[in-house]
Amino acid sequence: MGKQDQTLQNTLHYFENARQHLALPRGVIAALQNPYREVEVSFPIVMDDNSIKIFHGYRVQHNNARGPFKGGLRFHPEVSMEKTMALAMLMTFKCSVADIPFGGAKGGITCDPKKLSISELKKITKRFTYEIAPIIGPDTDIPAPDVGTDSQVMSWIVDAYSMGGRKNEYAVVTGKPLDLYGSFVRDVATGLGCYFVIQETLEYLGSPKIFTKHSKVIVQGCGNAAIPIMKLLKKDEAKIIAVSDSQGGIFSQEGINIDSVLKTKKTAGSVTKCETGEIISNQQLLELPCDILVLAAMENQITKENADKIQAKIIFEPANAPVTPEADEILKKRGIIVVPDILASAGGVIVSYFEWVQNRQRDRWPEEKVKKRLKKQITTSCKEVLKIADDKKVDLRTAAYILGIGKVAKVMESRDIWP
Ligand code: GLU
């Protein structure tokens, strides 16, 4: 194991904060503080230039009291065991908040997919699948896409897992292409889910002042989560004044043209290649005055270093763990509302659950049905979180953790410790 990752400490801190509001048995607390299983594998791959490289992969299964382990696979240079543990823990609470019958897991490979060829990526994925095959499966642990992975990676996993088991097993992963028994809406589900959370929260808070037609929105990130949010908010006539990707951001006080920004991102590789608007850094983007700030990139973006400079009224977290606990405290003191990851990013795993159900039933739901059920599911969770926050006079993150931990704990308590 490498050095301790900040994300794990942060997640444990949020857990500790919330569990004080719950009367939990000691066994449950200790079990939730520690993942059930951590697997680390190292394997060689013959690269395109015939050199041999060793890759390190991880799968952490945090808790399965409520159902099979569930969570994405991340291909990124910063993937480590500690980070994977934190993200697995978040999945347990996310699935619980979303009220879907899954536990939490996460996995990944330390690599930079942008620097790998398709054939290298395929080999790495298939070999990794072979290595973790004994612990995954449609009834045990179901991976899905995350940062750096997509429906193509999921197809390779289906293939490797099915060939190894000599039986086609489509429900072993979710987030597959439509042709390979994926679900409608899964590709935009995280963004769409977050959009429903934005609508519900603003309505509940009675904040027409924030969410008027011309409210100013900043979006950090320009991937699968960010794009649908921008498109939907634009439809609502909100003004997206800034957006960024890993290379930097683009800003225009009058509002940026989303369609042309997305086109540039596709053709030139980065939003910073846009010809209109001012080029800014990711740091500058976070500190601009706005009504709504959407964090759709990576972990630890708002920290104690910049929390004082944030000028948003409300923050949504479709990314996992983008705000550190110190920053969370500062934002709270300054009256900035934060709608947490385990609620705002739950759309992806909710539609993953729908995909899994469709696979198990050998069925395909129409697009409208998936959207309607996603809206109902995530809006119900959002209402519950808002109510707990009101009743217990706590912030929304603590409320979401109270809801998530509480439901997992109930199941663990009724089943009791085995044997
Ligand atoms: N990677 C996504 C998340 O962090 C989706 C996980 C899934 O669908 O299993 O929520």
pLDDT at 157 over 80: yes
pLDDT at 206: 82
Residues 300-310 pLDDT 10s: 999 999 999 99
- Better-predicted residue by pLDDT, 5 or 144: 144
80 CB within 6 A, ligand 1: no
Locus of tokens 């190292």: 42
Q: How confident is the model at residue 283 (pLDDT cuts 50, 70, 90)?
A: very high
* C-alpha–C-alpha distance, residues 297 and 282, integer Å: 10
> Which H or E element spans position 231?
helix 226-235
The preferred substitution site among 102, 146, 194 for testing ligand 1, maximizing ligand atoms within 8 Å of CB, is 146
pLDDT at 2: 43
Least confidently predicted of 167-171, 172-176, 231-235, 405-409: 231-235
Q: Exposed/middle/buried for 109, CB within 10 Å: 0-12, 13-18, 19+?
A: buried
Average pLDDT of span 385-391: 98
Number of neighbours of residue 383 by Cβ within 10 angstroms: 13
Residues 200-239 pLDDT 10s: 999 998 865 556 577 999 999 999 999 999 999 999 989 9
pLDDT at 3: 47
Model pTM score: 0.97
- Residue range(s) of every CATH 3.40.50.10860 domain in the chain: 36-182
Q: How far is CA 78 from CA 74, 82, 106, 113, 117, in A?
A: 9, 10, 14, 12, 19
Average pLDDT of span 266-292: 95
Superfamily of chain region 36-182: Leucine Dehydrogenase, chain A, domain 1 (3.40.50.10860)
Answer yes or no: are the C-beta atoms of 104 and 94 closer than 8 Å.
Answer: yes
pLDDT at 163: 98
Q: Is the dihedral of CA 13, 387, 233, 150 positive or negative?
A: positive
- Residue range(s) of every CATH 3.40.50.720 domain in the chain: 189-344
> 251: Cβ–Cβ under 8 A, 6 or more apart, which residues?
241, 242, 277, 278, 279, 280, 284, 285, 288
Instruction: Give the side-chain half-sphere CA count within 13 A for 92.
Output: 31
Q: How far is the CA of 48 from the centre of ligand 1 (A)?
A: 31
* C-alpha–C-alpha distance, residues 139 and 65, integer Å: 13
pLDDT at 276: 87
Instruction: Provide the total of helices (H) and of strands (E) in the chain, helices listed first.
Output: 14, 12
Average pLDDT of span 182-193: 98
Looking at residue 171, the DSSP 8-state letter turns out to be G
pLDDT at 337: 97
Tell me whether residue 375 is one of the annotated catalytic residues: no
Q: Is the dihedral of CA 346, 349, 355, 358 positive or negative?
A: negative
pLDDT at 207: 66
Task: Tell me the H-state helices in 250-366.
Answer: 258-268, 282-286, 325-333, 341-344, 347-360
- Which one is catalytic: 70, 83, 94, 106? 106
User: Which 3 state secondary structure label does DSSP give 125?
Assistant: helix
pLDDT at 26: 87
Q: How far is CA 63 from CA 30, 88, 387, in A?
A: 12, 8, 26
Q: How far is the CA of 50 from the centre of ligand 1 (A)?
A: 34
Q: How confident is the model at residue 325 (pLDDT cuts 50, 70, 90)?
A: very high
348 CB within 6 A, ligand 1: yes
pLDDT at 211: 62
Residues 32-73 pLDDT 10s: 999 999 999 999 999 999 999 999 999 999 999 999 999 999
CATH 3.40.50.720 applies to domain 189-344: yes
Residues 338-379 pLDDT 10s: 999 999 999 999 999 999 999 999 999 999 999 999 999 999
Q: How far is the CA of 118 from the centre of ligand 1 (A)?
A: 23
> Which H or E element spans position 390?
helix 367-392
pLDDT at 257 over 80: yes
Which amino acid is present at 25? P
375 CB within 6 A, ligand 1: no
Ramachandran class of 70: left when φ > 0, alpha when ψ lies in -120 to 50, beta otherwise? beta
Answer yes or no: are the C-beta atoms of 100 and 355 closer than 8 Å.
Answer: no
174 CB within 6 A, ligand 1: yes
Q: How far is the CA of 277 from the centre of ligand 1 (A)?
A: 33
- Better-predicted residue by pLDDT, 128 or 1: 128
Average pLDDT of span 315-337: 98
